[in-house]
Amino acid sequence: MSLDPELSSLSRRKYLGALVYALILCTAIIGGLELLARFGLPESDFYRTRSLIESRTARPRVLLLGDSFTIEGEGLYYSRIETFVDQGGGVVINASRSGMGPEHYLRQAHLYTPGFSPDLILLNYFVGNDITDTIYYSQTETKQKIKTYLSAFFLGHVLIERVERLQTRLRIIGVKLDVDEEKISTVANPLLLEAAKNNPYLIQDNLLINTPRAQTAWARNRKILEDIFTLARKHDAALQIVIIPANLQTSDRDLKPMREIGFTIDSSLLGKRVPQDLLLDFCREQQLDCLDLLPAFLNSNDQDVYIPKDFHWNASGNRLAFDSLKPSLARILFPGESGR
């Protein structure tokens, strides 16, 4: 049985009309949510940072890039930098987030440099995982491209931040369900257990850079640093790279515990400086200001500068990192001012 042509045409028109109506409704809803997000309802890190930029007119200005080493908190490395710059009449914008890597540093630099016009971009490069961060990024390129597209919108930042926080919580829950409590108690950060399970060679990949995928990731990281340097020069900003060492480069205290949780580690990592040498060669070629923290950490009188069984600094490590950085900060931001 065939349908009447007029009825068939009418059905198509109704279908198309409903589709157009649905698209208009969805656009209106998304547009309304984007408008609310632009007014901070709900708030996002991006909204807070943009609002902070718009409210600060002081000089000098510092844009901080990094990962969990440079997050905010009393007595931490970032807070010491902020206090030092603030005492000189300047302002710091922290674009660092836990879990970020070089690809994110580049994205954050493009997001905030044009509007903030910093005098200094302070990029903190952690040799303990910035190679594998780039490897992981390349393996999830489609997802990362979607995030980059969403980052053009305030609403996109709200969605990305909430999804990432939920994913982190679910990952921690997954580790706790998958691993017995006794093993979880052996590490400060449960996600280290997940990292060791997914890539036992994570530490060696980052500190030796002697596999094809690690070398490819270093080539990409080098290009990212070049792009950030180009962006800095375009906006008349200085760029300084702080090279953060890994705990196993400074002490063998955590060698056995890291092996016990599943990492495959070469005993000779202590004192090896493969990533540092690559970064310093890059800095010399580009005539860039770089600070290698490894010598200061190796020569420190305080032997415990990292949290036990973790990659991060303790209070002594945060203080040592800032004290090592302070002279170059004073030279770049406050030239001619003695006593800073």
What's the confidence (pLDDT) of residue 150? Answer: 87
User: What's the pLDDT tens digit per position in 16-72?
Assistant: 888 888 999 999 999 999 898 888 888 888 888 888 888 777 899 999 999 999 998
Strand runs labelled E in 20-157: 61-65, 91-94, 120-126
pLDDT above 70: residue 6: no
pLDDT in tens, 24-36: 999 999 999 989 8
DSSP string, 12-25: HHHHHHHHHHHHHH
The pLDDT > 90 percentage for the chain reads 58
Confidence grade of residue 3 (pLDDT, cut at 50, 70, 90): low
pLDDT in tens, 169-185: 888 788 777 877 777 77
Give the residue-averaged pLDDT of 248-259.
91
40: left (phi over 0), alpha (psi -120 to 50) or beta: left
Q: What is the pTM of this model?
A: 0.89
Centroid of chain to Cα 51: 20
Q: Which helix (H) or strand (E) holds 240?
A: strand 238-244
Give the pLDDT score at 336. Answer: 76
User: 43-333, which class in CATH?
Assistant: alpha beta
Do residues 75 and 31 lie in contact, with contact meaning Cβ atoms separated by under 8 Å?
no
d(CA 216, CA 218): 5
In the chain, where the domains are located: 43-333
Highest mean pLDDT among 79-83, 165-169, 307-311: 79-83
